[in-house]
Amino acid sequence: MTLLKYTLWRILQTVPVLIGIATITFFLTNAMPGDPVDIMIGADVDEALEAALRERYGLDRPVHERYVIYLINAAQGDFGLSIHYGAPVIDKIIERLPVTMLLVGSAYTFGLGLAIPLGVLSAARRNDWIDHLSRVVALFGVSTPSFWIGLLLIIVFSFHLGWFPSSDLVRPWRGPAAVSGAETWIEVWYLSARSLVLPTIALGTLQMAAATRIERSSMIETLQTDYVKLARGYGVSEQTILRRHAFRPAQLPVITIVGLNVSTALGGSVLIETVFNINGMGRLIITGIQTLDYPLIMGTTLFFGLIFLVGVIVTDISYAYIDPRISYGDRE
């Protein structure tokens, strides 16, 4: 199978999973107590208006019909009207998704940027002080709640030192006119970068720690393989072994874990967006649940799943790319 065919095949495989997510969220949201129309207009208003609203949001139809309609519409990119916002769900998602992606992407950059050198150094100098340090850092990183890190960062770096803002995320794609305190694009980007620092550290610490641990153990294992021993026997220097022979194969498990951890990062973004008052996907789903906005909850959940699946596909493809021994699509 060629890489292109493999990619298409993997994309095709996500379809049943996406239908599964849509199904689970549909029936979960339908099991919710309370009536969204009542919440919207109050329990006792005139019945004609209530009926009209029910019809508008399709709530007058039986459940199985709504389910089929929802699936068909979702496949066409139509997730219905948000009851809370009175706007199409997809519009809200398109508005919020880039914010969350920026946050998660930035957390990943921070996390991996630290984890890879830390893990490699740790493995290369086992039981040295750098190894102990990186293991302690990683242990704390996987044990600390991200939202607590967020709170501590706000206390120290916003409230006491005043270096970074404690809430909101300046979106770098908005023009200077839309951002208060900025007159040029450069200033927008500066403010944006500043507002991104604390949420990035709060969300990225767990990623950093998890990746450091796996990088270290994977490097150690690779450094014990026969071909590395052989290279050592031939007198190849440790540096060259690390760089040319051990590093690349050791990245395979790292990539897997990093891909799967997209899910953790997305879940974490719900918390971090709450701590820093960032209007991203995480806050969107919380709003949806607080206002019993069925279409909004279903749409956002589906998108959370979609991002994760994209992450996994990218992982699988880069895996096949890094390790030429893997023929695309082979089972086990």
In the complex, the residues that contact another protein under the rule CB under 8 A are 10, 13, 16-17, 20-21, 24-25, 28-33, 139-140, 142-148, 151-152, 154-155, 159, 214, 217-218, 220-221, 252-253, 256, 259-260, 263-264, 266-268, 270-271, 274-275, 285-286, 289, 292, 297, 300-301, 304-305, 308-309, 312, 315, 319, 329, 331-332
Rounded Cα–Cα distance for residues 237 and 213 (Å): 25
Question: Which residue lies nearer to another protein by CB, 111 or 305?
Answer: 305
CA angle at 235 for the pair 234 and 237, rounded to the nearest 5°: 130
CB of 324 to another protein, least distance (A): 14
CB of 92 to another protein, least distance (A): 16
Rounded Cα–Cα distance for residues 198 and 167 (Å): 9
Q: What's the Cα-to-Cα distance from 152 to each of 124, 128, 196, rounded to whole Å?
A: 33, 30, 16
Question: Which residue lies nearer to another protein by CB, 102 or 292?
Answer: 292
CB of 152 to another protein, least distance (A): 7
44 DSSP assignment: S
Question: Which residue lies nearer to another protein by CB, 67 or 319?
Answer: 319
Beta strands of 58-197 (E only): which ranges? none
Question: Which residue lies nearer to another protein by CB, 83 or 179?
Answer: 83
Question: Which residue lies nearer to another protein by CB, 169 or 210?
Answer: 210
CB of 161 to another protein, least distance (A): 13
Rounded Cα–Cα distance for residues 39 and 272 (Å): 28
* 241: Cβ contacts below 8 Å, ≥ 6 apart: 223, 228, 231, 232
